[in-house]
Structure formats: structure tokens, C-alpha cells
């Protein structure tokens, strides 16, 4: 059950923010949007999955600072801090299956250290949790009161349980220390600055389509995902950051589509002649995924505004330029 429905904070009450994982895909967009709002940003990243390239365009902007830091070791930020956004973690199956211990450490020790920073500074704290806490859900769509169906000893358990633990730790700090915390459960987000090789469906499909390789669809492709363009996801996260809500609150687009349809759509948008090939379904791969976004709409006044077609078109165009690939099909 979510705690608190306090008033929306005034934007001017947050002057300086710390973003962990700020050189990652989602973190870099958060840094950019915060700077656009006039907030100073301290970006912390150990570059395990993030890259300085993602924030290179921010380096000359006033109020931005990039620091190499592993939050599982320590977190020290001198001066005032009004907001801590904990977004450090491997987030794609390919990454967290390669780095299971690092994933568990950033969800546990990293959360502990960043909560300690927020508590010491009297700052608002927002945890990036995930739809993966619902596992392979038996409830559809998934609302925030659903406890999930997670296999703790399966290959995906390192990420699922790291995030579930981090939610428990965040709640404990709120309950027992009075830290001003919020939890967002982020559903499948996509857009510019995703790594082509990060293993997630959208960058994998786009890369395959642009290079003329077969698009590899797991299983029969009937499993569903709900995809949300990165600008919409960031707006939802910042709506949470500037509120007094505790959450958890789902941030995701309820526009659900099958993985097979997603692959077909990307071949159409790229104008690719690539065929579709079916490969084995990964262990514990969720069969369905769609957020119940009622809480985000009623408590944060947030809903996605970028259609899946428009978001995919923008993402394909970015990848085509980034990879030097073929031109995007018009219209």
C-alpha cells in the first residue's frame, strides 16, 4: 500500500541533485532534463554499463559535474543535496546475467549508501525499481499492490530480488528514519542512447534490421511488453521526484504489444528485408507485461504522450545515424 499523498513540491525547492548511474541510458536523460529545469546535477557512475559518451554533451553546461564513483563502496558528495535519484544498476538481462554479484551489490549496498546520503542531507530520495519485481505475473495488468511471481534462484532472480530488496530498504528508511523516499517501478523504456549490444529487444531488433541480419524473436513471439519512450519515462520519474509520494508507483505505457509485432514493426520502420528467426525462450521470461497506470495518473498527474509508433521512429532514426546504417523508411 502506498504511503502518503502529500502536495506536489515546488520545483524551486530542488536546487541540486545527485543521479547515480547518471552516465547510463536512462540516467543520462534524467541528468539532461534536470539541467533543463535549472537543477544542478552531480552525476555518479562507475561506467560498468554506462559511458561518459552519454553525458559528453552535458560536460560544458553550468551546474553539471561527472564523478567516477562505485556506490557499493562509498558515496560522498560535499555540499547541499536536495534530491538523490538512485539509478545505478545493470538493467538488461544480458548485463545482469554477466554481472550477477555486481547487480546484487548495487541493489543492496548501493541502496544502503545512497539512502544514507539522502538521510544525512535531508534530501528527497527516489529509487529506480522495475516491473521485474512482478516476475512472470499471474495478475494482468500489474498494479502496485500485486506482490509478484518471482523465482529467487532463477537466472533473472539476481535483478528481481536486488530490486525487491532495495524497495524494502527504501521503505525501512522512510518508516524508521523518516527519510523522504519515493519508489518508481519502471516498465520497458526505450529511446536514444541505448547500447546496441545491451541485449534488450528494441536495440537488438533495430541493430539487426539496419544491418540486414535476421531479427531473433524468442519463443513464438506471443509474449507481450509495454514500451514507453524515454522522454515520457523521465517526465514520470521527475513528477515523482518533485512530489511527496512514497509509492511504489508504476511508470510505464499501458500500450501492450507482442514481441513478434514489435519485430515486424521495426522491420517496417527501417525498410529492412531482414527475415524473422525464432530462438529459444529464456528461462523465466515473463509472458505478459502491462502496467496499471492509474496511480501515476491520479497522484502524479502523469501519463505517456509519445505514441509507440512515434517513439520507435525517433529511436530507429537515432540508431541509423549512430550506427551509420541505412536511411529510415519515410512515412
Residue 329 to residues 8, 140, 154, 311, 325: CA-CA distances in angstroms? 42, 35, 40, 15, 12
Please give the mean pLDDT across all residues of the chain: 91
| The predicted structure's pLDDT at residue 199 | 84
pLDDT digits (tens, 9 = 90+) for 92-110: 888 989 999 999 999 999 9
What gap in Å lies between CA 159 and CA 143, rounded to an integer? 20
Q: Are strands 228-229 and 189-190 parallel, antiparallel or unpaired?
A: parallel
| The predicted structure's pLDDT at residue 323 | 79
Q: What values do phi and psi take at 68, rounded to 5?
A: -75, 120
Structural domain range at position 129? 14-188+230-251
Q: For the chain, count helices (H), then strands (E).
A: 9, 13
Residue range 263-283: mean pLDDT, rounded: 91
Q: Is the pLDDT of residue 234 over 90?
A: yes
| The predicted structure's pLDDT at residue 208 | 93
Q: What values do phi and psi take at 253, rounded to 5?
A: -95, 125
pLDDT digits (tens, 9 = 90+) for 289-314: 899 999 999 999 999 999 999 999 99
Residue range 175-199: mean pLDDT, rounded: 94
What gap in Å lies between CA 81 and CA 66, rounded to an integer? 15
Please report where in the chains the cell 511527496 appears, as a residue: 244
Axis crossing angle, helix 308-323 with helix 259-270, rounded to the nearest 10 = 60
Residue range 62-77: mean pLDDT, rounded: 96
Q: Are strands 16-20 and 40-45 parallel, antiparallel or unpaired?
A: parallel
What is the number of domains present in the chain?
1
Decide if 190 is catalytic: no
| Residue 37 maps to a domain | yes
> How sure is the predictor about 160, in pLDDT bands with cuts at 50, 70 and 90?
very high
| Residue 82 maps to a domain | yes
Residue range 32-40: mean pLDDT, rounded: 97
| Residue 2 maps to a domain | no
| Residue 160 maps to a domain | yes
| The predicted structure's pLDDT at residue 147 | 95
| Residue 97 maps to a domain | yes
| Residue 306 maps to a domain | no
Strand locations in 1-82 (E): 16-20, 40-45, 64-68
Q: Is the pLDDT of residue 232 over 90?
A: yes
Q: Is 115 exposed, middle or buried (0-12, 13-18, 19+ CB in 10 A)?
A: buried
- Total residues belonging to the chain: 331
- Cβ distance 71 to 84 under 8 Å? no
- Cβ distance 208 to 215 under 8 Å? yes
| Residue 109 maps to a domain | yes
Q: Is the pLDDT of residue 276 over 80?
A: yes
Helices (H), the chain: 25-36, 93-98, 100-121, 157-172, 201-211, 230-241, 259-270, 294-300, 308-323
pLDDT digits (tens, 9 = 90+) for 112-122: 999 999 999 99
Instruction: Please tell me which residue in 159, 173, 190, 229 is annotated as part of the active site.
Output: 159
What gap in Å lies between CA 15 and CA 11, rounded to an integer? 8
> How sure is the predictor about 6, in pLDDT bands with cuts at 50, 70 and 90?
very low
Give the Cα-Cα-Cα angle 95, 100, 106 (nearest 5 degrees).
90
**Residue 264 grid coordinates:** 515486424
- Cβ distance 329 to 269 under 8 Å? yes
| Residue 244 maps to a domain | yes
Q: Is the pLDDT of residue 2 over 80?
A: no
Report the CATH number that the domain containing residue 80 is assigned in CATH: 3.40.50.720
| The predicted structure's pLDDT at residue 282 | 80
**Residue 23 grid coordinates:** 552516465
Residue range 76-93: mean pLDDT, rounded: 95
| The predicted structure's pLDDT at residue 155 | 86
Please report where in the chains the cell 561527472 appears, as a residue: 66
Amino acid at each position: 500500500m502506498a504511503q502518503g499523498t502529500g502536495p506536489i513540491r515546488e520545483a524551486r525547492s530542488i536546487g541540486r541533485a545527485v543521479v547515480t548511474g547518471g552516465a547510463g541510458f536512462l540516467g543520462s536523460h534524467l541528468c539532461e532534463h534536470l539541467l533543463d529545469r535549472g537543477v544542478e546535477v552531480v552525476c555518479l557512475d562507475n561506467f560498468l554499463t554506462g559511458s561518459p559518451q552519454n553525458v559528453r554533451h552535458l560536460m560544458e553546461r553550468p551546474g553539471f559535474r561527472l564523478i567516477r564513483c562505485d556506490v557499493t563502496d562509498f558515496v560522498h558528495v560535499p555540499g547541499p543535496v536536495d534530491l538523490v535519484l538512485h539509478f545505478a544498476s545493470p538493467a538488461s538481462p544480458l548485463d545482469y546475467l554477466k554481472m550477477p554479484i555486481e547487480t546484487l551489490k548495487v541493489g543492496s549496498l548501493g541502496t544502503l549508501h545512497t539512502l544514507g546520503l539522502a538521510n544525512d542531507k535531508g534530501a528527497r530520495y527516489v529509487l529506480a525499481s522495475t516491473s521485474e519485481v512482478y516476475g512472470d505475473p499471474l495478475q494482468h495488468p500489474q498494479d502496485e499492490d500485486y506482490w509478484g511471481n518471482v523465482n529467487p534462484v532463477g537466472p533473472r532472480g539476481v535483478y528481481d530480488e536486488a530490486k525487491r530488496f532495495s524497495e524494502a530498504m527504501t521503505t525501512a528508511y522512510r518508516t524508521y528514519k523518516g527519510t523522504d523516499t519515493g519508489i518508481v517501478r519502471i516498465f520497458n523504456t526505450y529511446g536514444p542512447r541505448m547500447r546496441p549490444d545491451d541485449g534488450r529487444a528494441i536495440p537488438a531488433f533495430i541493430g539487426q534490421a539496419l544491418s540486414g541480419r535476421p531479427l531473433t524473436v524468442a519463443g513464438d513471439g506471443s509474449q507481450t511488453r509495454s514500451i514507453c519512450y524515454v522522454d515520457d519515462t523521465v517526465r514520470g520519474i521527475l513528477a515523482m521526484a518533485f512530489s511527496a509520494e512514497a509509492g511504489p508507483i508504476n511508470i510505464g505505457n499501458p500500450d501492450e504489444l507482442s514481441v513478434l509485432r514489435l519485430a515486424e514493426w521495426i522491420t517496417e520502420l527501417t525498410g529492412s528485408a531482414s527475415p524473422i528467426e525464432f530462438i529459444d525462450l529464456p528461462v523465466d521470461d515473463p509472458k505478459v507485461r502491462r502496467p496499471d497506470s492509474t496511480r501515476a495518473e491520479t497522484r502524479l498527474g502523469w501519463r505517456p504522450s509519445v505514441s509507440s509508433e512515434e517513439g520507435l521512429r525517433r529511436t530507429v532514426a537515432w540508431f541509423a545515424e549512430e550506427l551509420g546504417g541505412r536511411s529510415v523508411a519515410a512515412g
